[in-house]
Amino acid sequence: MSNTINYRSVDVPDTKPPDEYDYRERRAEILQLIEEAGHPRAINQTRIADRYGVSQGQISKDIQRLREFICENIDERTVDSITEVVYQKAIRELMDKGDHYKAVKAAESWNDWLMDRGKVDKEPDKHEVDGSGIVINYGDE
Say whether both 96 and 133 belong to one domain. yes
Neighbours of 19 (CB within 10 A): 11
CA–CA gap between residue 87 and residue 106 (Å, rounded): 7
Torsion sign over Cα 44, 47, 53, 56: positive
The last residue of a domain, from among 74, 102, 129: 74
The DSSP code for 128 is E
> Measured between alpha carbons, how far is 49 from 51 in angstroms, rounded to an integer?
5
- Structural domain for 140, as ranges: 75-141
pLDDT tens track, the chain, 141 positions: 445 799 989 999 999 999 999 999 999 999 999 888 877 888 999 999 999 999 999 999 999 999 888 878 777 776 777 778 888 888 889 999 999 999 888 888 878 877 877 777 766 555 555 555 555 566 655
Tell which of 44, 74, 104 closes a domain. 74
Let me know if residue 1 belongs to a domain.
no
Q: Is residue 20 part of a domain?
A: yes
Q: Are residues 79 and 141 in the same domain?
A: yes
Please tell me the total count of domains within the chain: 2
End-to-end Cα, the chain, rounded Å:
51
